[in-house]
Amino acid sequence: MKNQKIIEKSNKYIMNTYNSFQIQLEKGKGVYVWDIEGKKYIDCVAGIAVNVLGYSDEQYIEAIQKQFEKIHHSSNLYITKPAVLLAETLVENSQFDKVFFCNSGTEAMEASIKLARKHGCKNKGEKATEIISMKNSFHGRSLGALTATGQQKYQEGFGPLIPDIKYAIYNDFESLKNLVSENTCGIILEVIQGEGGVIPINKEYLKKVRKLCTESDIALIFDEVQTGIGRTGKLFAYENYGISPDIIALAKGLGGGVPIGAMMAKEKFALSFKPGDHASTFGGNPIATSAGNHILYRLLNGGVLKNAQESGDYLKEKLEELKKKYKIIKDVRGKGLMQGIEVDIDPKKIIKNTMENGLLLVGAGENVIRFVPPLIITKEEIDGAISILEKSLETV
Ligand code: PLP
């Protein structure tokens, strides 16, 4: 009953943009969540690749609570320690030199587009405003990030979009090269296309893109909003390829569930932003950055990154086994704890069925089911998830 009332209010008062499942989640522990009726689910959605430590992690809560009691917000007119420490950890564990903090993936992408344009304008002239992104990509919902998103279904009805963004075919170097001009200032790539259907980038292609960008002074931008912060078993997904971009966008896992985004850049590009060029009231907020500090500490020093690697390999192995058994699985793709299975029936049917049986999963693209569980998930918990999925595959 309690459930029904809140669901009715949700439908009445919250703008209708999400098409949410009609269940009310109440609490979580580890990789499990419970709805208000007491039903338990293994959560392989994790807020869509956000809840790195799952739910109700005591050390995480304590780190945030301590910061709350000291100072919970201040303007960027002043310096606060958590933001500085998080910037230091991000820089010292990456190929980048400077960080800009914001609040979401969309904002991190918006900042990346602005930085690439500023750099282009400064170094190539005012006409160097062209950005190339990929078909089938996803970069967020603000007008800049939405324009960079290479999928019409998200853009319809929101035009005019921002000018000078072109779309190349992902993993097709010729298609990209044909779009490059003297006015290209940035190329945007996801290391694994997430929303587009869990499609990993090709290493040889990436090498060529890196070379092209270096030779033509084009900012290579990686959108690692979904793939970053341990998701693929490395702190950043680019480490799997040994190729780093000039600018990177991060969000999702960075705060483990507290909203935060970040853009990082190599010195040469970072220098193009001057005071007043970009800003965010909440960017670098002490609560969000103390959450980020704890997440990075646990990834780098608390064994979580290693677990993501090992559990990621195990999950892939189990999904490959299912593929051999069930013909409706056409492909298994991904890295670490970002895996997708391509199916030849409507994935929504399977997702609904597994939910009824106590497993939360999320779709990607037209025909893919995505696994992006907390990075603390164990092999036993994966076995639990796989057996629920298998039951669904047998019945749908
Ligand atoms: N970029 C990628 C690759 C994403 O997967 C997402 C969200 O799914 C975004 C950007 C947008 O992030 P946010 O929803 O935090 O604005």
Beta bridge partners of 329: 343
Residues 313-317: what's their mean pLDDT?
A: 98
Is 90 exceeded by the pLDDT of residue 12? yes
CA of 316 to the centre of ligand 1 (A): 23
From the CA of 83, how far away is ligand 1's center (Å)?
Answer: 22
Pocket of ligand 1 (CB under 6 A): 48, 104-106, 109, 138-140, 190, 194-195, 223, 225-226, 251
Q: State which of 51, 225, 227, 370 you would mutate to test the pocket of ligand 1, scoring each by most atoms of that ligand within 8 A of its C-beta.
A: 225
As a whole number of angstroms, the distance between CA 165 and CA 186 comes to 10
pLDDT for residue 368: 98
- Which atom of ligand 1 is nearest to 224's Cα? 3
Residue 156, Ramachandran bin (φ over 0: left; ψ between -120 and 50: alpha; else beta): beta
pLDDT, residue 396, reads 86
Q: Which of 252, 263, 280, 370 best tests ligand 1's pocket when mutated (most atoms within 8 Å of CB)?
A: 252
With CA atoms as reference, report the closest residue to 193 among 45, 342, 338.
338
**pLDDT for 69 beyond 80:** yes
pLDDT of residue 15: 97
Q: Under a CB-based contact definition with an 8 Å cutoff, are residues 296 and 142 in contact?
A: no
Write the residue with the smallest CA distance to atom 14 of ligand 1: 105
Helical residues (DSSP H) of 256-378, grouped into ranges: 267-270, 286-301, 304-325, 347-356
Question: For residue 188, which of 162, 207, 158, 209 has the smallest C-alpha distance?
Answer: 209
Burial of residue 62 (number of CB atoms within 10 Å: 0-12, 13-18, 19+) = exposed
Distance of CA 366 to the CA centre of its chain: 19
Q: Average pLDDT for residues 301-322, to the nearest whole number?
A: 98
Find the 139 Cα to ligand 1 centroid distance in Å: 5
Instruction: Report the pLDDT averaged over residues 374-386.
Output: 98
Q: Looking at residues 199-210, what average pLDDT do you find?
A: 98
Cα(104) to centroid of ligand 1, in Å? Answer: 7
Length of the chain: 396
pLDDT digit string, tens, across residues 22-63: 999 999 999 999 999 999 999 999 999 999 999 999 999 999
pLDDT above 80 for 163: yes
CATH of 60-301, one of 3.40.50.920, 3.40.640.10, 3.30.420.40, 3.50.30.30: 3.40.640.10
The CA distance from 362 to 340, in Å, is 10
Indicate the pTM of the whole model: 0.98
| pLDDT value for 2 | 66
> Is the pLDDT score of 1 beyond 90?
no
Please state, rounded to an integer, the average pLDDT across all residues of the chain: 97
CA of 140 to the centre of ligand 1 (A): 5
